[in-house]
C-alpha cells in the first residue's frame, strides 16, 4: 500500500500507543530510510520521580527499524522484531528524540546474508537524546530477517 508520507506520519501519531504516551513522528523520509521520533515529558509519560517513564522511551523506538526494513526489502522478506533491550544512561527530561537511519551498507549486508534463504538477526541501535544532545538511553533491537521461500 503506497499511502502518502504525510498520511503515514499522521496515522503513526494517532496510533493509540503513541498518542497516549505523547510520542510523535516528526520526520519520515519517503523511502523509509530515515525517521525522527520525539517524546515530550508530560503527565501521561512521567514516572514516580518526574522523569520520562522507561516504557515510553522504549515504545518510541519499537516499530521503526522493523517497518523501515519491510519497506526497503519489500514483500519478498519476512521481517520481525526478535528482541530488544534498553540501556538507561541518564534521566530523561523535557523533549527527547530518536533518529533512525538505514544505510546502503546495512541493506546490502542483509540482502547478502539472506540471499540463500538463511535467517539473519541484525542488531540495530538507536540513541535517545535530550534537547542538549546528551545521551539519555541506547536501544538495541534484534530483528529477524529471512527471504520468503518462493523468493529463494
**Do 76 and 121 contact (CB within 8 A), yes or no?**
no
Output the pTM of the full model: 0.91
Residues in the chain, overall count:
152
Q: Residues 101, 102, 105, CA angle at the centre, nearest 5°?
A: 135
Superfamily of domain 5-147, CATH level 4? Hotdog Thioesterase (3.10.129.10)
Q: Which sequence spans correspond to the domains of the chain? A: 5-147
Alpha carbons 136 and 133: distance in angstroms, whole number:
9
* Per-residue pLDDT band at 27 (split at 50, 70, 90): very high
Residues 13-42: what's their mean pLDDT? 95
Over residues 55-106, the pLDDT tens digits come to: 999 999 999 999 999 999 999 999 999 999 999 999 999 999 999 999 999 9
| Per-residue confidence band for 151, with pLDDT thresholds at 50, 70 and 90 | low
pLDDT of residue 92: 94
User: In this predicted model, what pLDDT tens digit does every residue of 29-52 receive, in sequence order?
Assistant: 999 999 999 999 999 899 999 999
Amino acid at each position: 500500500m503506497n499511502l502518502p508520507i504525510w498520511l503515514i506520519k499522521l496515522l503513526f501519531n494517532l496510533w493509540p500507543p503513541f498518542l497516549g504516551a505523547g510520542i510523535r513522528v516528526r520526520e519520515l523520509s519517503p523511502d523509509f530510510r530515515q525517521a525522527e521520533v520525539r517524546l515530550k515529558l508530560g503527565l501521561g509519560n512521567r514516572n514516580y520521580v518526574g522523569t520520562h517513564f522507561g516504557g515510553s522511551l522504549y515504545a518510541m523506538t519499537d516499530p521503526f527499524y522493523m517497518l523501515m526494513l519491510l519497506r526497503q526489502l519489500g514483500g519478498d522478506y519476512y521481517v520481525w522484531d526478535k528482541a530488544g533491550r534498553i540501556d538507561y544512561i541518564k534521566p530523561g527530561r523535557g523533549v527527547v528524540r530518536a533518529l533512525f537511519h538505514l544505510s546502503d551498507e546495512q541493506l546490502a549486508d542483509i540482502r547478502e546474508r539472506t540471499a540463500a534463504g538463511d535467517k539473519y538477526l541484525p542488531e540495530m541501535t538507536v540513541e535517545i537524546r535530550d534537547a542538549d544532545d546528551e545521551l539519555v538511553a541506547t536501544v538495541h533491537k534484534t530483528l529477524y530477517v529471512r527471504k520468503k521461500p518462493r523468493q529463494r
